[in-house]
Each structure stands twice: as C-alpha cells, then as structure tokens.
Amino acid sequence: MPRKKPFSTKQKKKQLQGKRERKRGDTGSGPSSRNASLERGERQSDTSDSETTDVRKINQQPFAREGRYDPNRFRLHFEKESKEEVEKRKKVAREKVLKPLSGKEDEISIDDVFPPEKGLGFPRRPPWSYEMTRENLLKREEKSYREHLDDLHSRNPEGSLSHFEHNLETWRQLWRVLEMSDVILLIVDIRHPVLQFPPSLYNYITGELGKQVVLVLNKADLCPPPLVIAWKHYMTSQFPHLQIVCFTSHPGEAYSTVLQKKRMRKKADWSHAGGPLDILKACQEITAGKVDLSSWEQKIRRDAGAEQMDGERLDDGLETVLVEHQTDIAMEMNSPSQELYKDGVLTIGCIGFPNVGKSSVINSLVARKVVSVSRTPGHTKYFQTYYLTPTVKLCDCPGLVFPSIVDKQLQILAGIYPVSQLQEPYSSVGYLCERTPTYSVLKLKHPSLVDSKPHLGIQGSEDMNWTAWDVCEAWAERRGYKTAKAARLDVYRAANSLLRLAIDGRLCLCLRPPGYSCLREHWENHPDLPEIIALQGRTTTKEEGMGERDDEEDGESSTEPEDERDRDADDDEDGDDEDEGFAHPKPKEEKPSGFTVNMFNVLRENECE
C-alpha cells in the first residue's frame, strides 16, 4: 500500500472548486477564482434570450450530471441595474426620513400600471408553417423577440420600465401554453392584482385566440374581506366578460397563525383549499355542456368528503394523477389549436407572474402535491401537464413578468424578485414602512436610543425620525443579527428578513382599487361579505386577546422567530413558537372596521431576549 501524501488546505480547496465546475458543466479550463465563478453565473447556459440590453440572470443552478436537462433554462432574466443607481438608492435609504402615507396612496388603477399609450405589450409568436425547420423557426422567434424589445425601448425612456422578463425561453413556454389550452387561468395575488393582470394579454387571448380567461384572485386569506370584494368588483367593471374566482390554499386559519411556518404548510392538506368548486363552475359556464365535467365535480366532492370522514387525507396512492411531459420538438412545432375541447378534453392553462401561487393552485385542484412549492420566484422550471380526470387536463407555465410602469420596490414586495439576489433591499423596506405601521408592529427601538437612552422603550422611538436604514438596524438589533467577524449589526440580513415577512403575508401590504377609501363603509357592509368570510373559513370575531383591526391593517402575520438557517436563503425555515398577539394602534384619520382580528401579530414580548 503506497504511503499517504500530505494534502494541504489549498489543494483541498482546488479539488472542491474543480468538483463544482464539473457539476456546473464547465470544462475547467478557465480560471477558478471568485470573479470567474461570477462570470460563469452570468453566462448564458445553452439557450439564447436574444436580449438587446444588459441582462442579469438570476438563480444560477448547477447542471444535471447527465446533461439531459438545463435547470437554468427558465430562470429569471431582468435588466441589470448600474452600480451608480444602486449606490444612489443606498444613500437615499440612509438619509430620507420616512413619512406615513394615507390610505389613498395605496389606491392604484390598472392604467397606472399598464398605461395604454406606452405600448406595453408582450412578444408574440411569429407565423410559421410545418414546412419550416426547427432551426428556422427558432431564428424567426428570436428575430421577432428582438424587434419587440427594440420597439418597447424606443417607446419608453431608459429607466422608466419596471423589471420584466428578458428570457425568450420562458416567453416560448407562454406561447405554447396559450396555444394548447382551451381555457386560461390567469392567477394573481389578491394583495396587488392590477400589478399582475396585463390588459394586452387578456385582449390577445380573448381577441386573437378567441379563448376565455378565468381570473383567479389567489391568497384571498391574506386580504380583508371588504377589500377582496372591492377588487373583484373593480376587475368586473374594467372587464365585464371576465370570469373571476376567489381562491385560497389555506382557509380556516386564524389571522394570528396564517402562514405561520414552512413546516406547517408542508403538512397542510391540499384538499382544504377554498375555490376549486368555483373554478369548476366557471369552466362549466364557459364550456356550456360541450365537455363532460361531471367526473371533475365528483372528484372535488370526493376529496372534500374523504377529509370530513377521517380528518386526514387517505393514502395518496389510492388515486393517481397522470403527468405528461412535452418534448421540446413537440412543443415547438405545436400549432395553435383551432378546435376547442379536442377529443372531449378540456385543457386548462395556468399562467401568471412569479410567486402568485400557481403551483399551489394546481396542487389544490389535484388535491395532493404534484408540483413543488417555493417562496422563491421563478421556482417552476418544468413544463408539465396533469390530468385531473380523463376529460380535464392542466398545463403549467413558468412565471412571467410583463413590462409595466410601476415602482421596482413595489415589484419586490410583490415577490417577483428573489430576495436573496437583491443588491439593495433597503429602499423596498422604506417603501413598506411608509405604507404599513412597521415600527409599532415590530416594537422597534430607534438606534439612537439604544445607547444614549436605554430606559426609553418603544414610546420614545415613536417620536423619532426614521430612515429605512434605521429600521433595518433596529430590526437587526431586535433579532440579534450580527456580522460574522466584527459582530456589527447585519443590516442587509435584517432588510431581507423584513422583505420576507412582507412577501409571506406576515407584514402585509395590500393595494386598493381607486375610490376604496371613499366607499369603505359600502364595502364593509356589502351583501357578499359572508361568502368571502366563508371562503376564508373565518368568522367576524376572534378569540379574546386579539387586537381590534382597522382597514389600515391590510395584512396579517405569523408569530414565530426567524430560524438561523434563513441567513442567505429564500426558502428559509421558521421557528416553532407561537406568540401572543398585541393590538395595533388605530390611525386617527381612519374609521375602524368591524373585524376584530389582529393582522400584525409578529412577535411576542420576550422573543428576542
């Protein structure tokens, strides 16, 4: 046996770097420095997005060992921000004093997000024929996409557009789902539906394709019932022929524990969802008896009945769901179907922005987990179809961000951008704090009082001038976030933590339709209110000890501390502690509503001690 040779730390590091390069699919001929790794992360993998601007590619994933599938094919591609712009926002976050905004500032119309005069369309698939080769088809699509980007940037000044998708491969998936489907489920987050409903897409589907759209207002449990009704009526007034359905995958949970912890969500039964029956009714109205949907209705009632009988789901193996994979060639040469409900099968396409809950809707319709769910936007990376019944088929599509005119900070709070990839999260924290009562909810103590006046608590902090940086420092102090070497306050981690609280619905920012503040009393006494409350699985009064909720509290929160493992990951685990609620102060200019629930139950008194 040969003598063992010394193996230095430097050699071990080099060995690990080579192993990572092989896993990524790199040849290893290039430099192995950190800069080289970053360059590899920004390099296009195998597919071309034909971008005409500098694009940042997010969430680089290692290649599969066999090389059969590129996990980076559908990852998010956004326009890269300049270093000067990022540094400018950091400076503003340190210096700008945050001032609370009135509820009317949260009112937004669909024309504010997608102005008709700006030409904010989306790339269309160019005409083609079966005589064309695959290579010619791809080149034509790339040329058409490049022309679309040129036209879009010529109509809008530099820097005026929000984040939007630059990955042509993801747009191709949208084209194919629209072509294959008979009915389109356009899924949006009820907290900000106008951000995620492009009128150009709706007009294209209903006009050129001649198909119907069902708008799914998902995560209805994260919004006060009057606001849910107001948004539903607003969308109906803007699009009279649009079918609208409210949906939630987690009904019946108290406001203090909704979205409490990731582990609890994993154990939740997908058959508990509220809304599958409403989607069925909308499809029945659209198909008008042309497709036999009785088996789908029986499946929904059977899933609900099984839960009521045993209190637990029956073995998932008793009922299987056929999953069908589409090859690239079959999808690329798939022509738009002129015949609806071919072979008596209803094909439903599920589309929407990242992080709106498309995967959760599919799991709820199937009544068991068939799609992995993550808080990281852009998580769906496979194109699959799922047969609910022999006559109903679902098509999934990766999340897509359409061009719009809206604050990028609001987009981040809407969850379209991975929090862990943000270069500058502080301005988004400031945007949140101006529209939600963050200081009192999180019981933050101003950084200037920590050393100078330690005897003053939250009361002394309320009168201080806060900046976004101060909020992050105070949250880092409260949660004990420190840098590894110097033990300074880790403001970047604190900012990420606050943004995750907002995206998860624990510090919930809900936008409002135009005129909501003036008609607030009307919506709070609307006859459809009991229906929405029943969908959410709640009553108008909650357990004793909950604070009184007013309309300014358009959100809700869980109560557990953030686990240490969430330091650099979007899909962090949360702790197990359930904490006591505390009342939220009522804004003087707002009239309190009749719903006595505390929607900002984030921390208990001794959580950080």
- Which backbone phi and psi does 183 adopt, to 5 degrees? -130, 140
Please list, residue by residue across 489-500, b when 16 or more beta carbons sit within 10 angstroms of its beta carbon and e when fewer do. Answer: bbbbbbbbbbbb
CB count in 10 Å sphere of residue 108:
18
Q: Which tokens hold the place of 77? A: 């591609």
**Predicted TM-score (pTM) of this structure:** 0.76
Residue pLDDT, tens place only, 183-216? 999 999 999 999 999 999 999 999 999 999 999 9
Domain 169-396 class in CATH: alpha beta
* Cα separation values, 412 from 49, 120, 159, 486, Å: 23, 20, 16, 30
Asked if residues 407 and 113 have their Cβ atoms less than 8 Å apart, the reply is: no
* Spatial distance between the Cα atoms of 162 and 147, rounded to a whole number of angstroms: 19
Q: What is the pLDDT, as a whole number, of residue 12? A: 87
Closest CA to 364 of 470, 473, 273: 273
Q: What are phi and psi of 59, to 5 degrees?
A: 65, 60
Q: 3-state class of 139 per DSSP?
A: helix
Residue 216 near residue 427, CB atoms below 8 Å:
no
Alpha carbon distance 290, 267 (integer Å): 38
Q: What is the 3-state secondary structure (H, E, C) of 228-270?
A: HHHHHHHHHHHCCCCEEEECECCCCCCCCCCCCCHHHHHHCCH
Cα separation of 135 and 278, whole Å? 43
Mark residue 493 as left, alpha or beta (left: phi above 0; alpha: psi -120 to 50; beta: remaining). alpha
Ranges of CATH 3.40.50.300 domains, the chain: 169-396
Higher-confidence residue: 130 or 330?
Answer: 130
SS3 content of the chain, % helix, strand, coil (to 5): 40, 10, 50
Residue 253 has pLDDT above 70, yes or no: no
Instruction: Write the pLDDT tens digit of every residue in 18-64.
Output: 888 877 655 444 444 434 433 444 443 334 444 444 665 555 555 55
pLDDT tens profile 514-546: 999 999 999 999 999 999 998 887 654 443 333
CB-based burial label for 124 (10 Å; 0-12, 13-18, 19+) = middle
**570-596 pLDDT per residue, tens:** 444 333 333 333 333 344 444 445 443
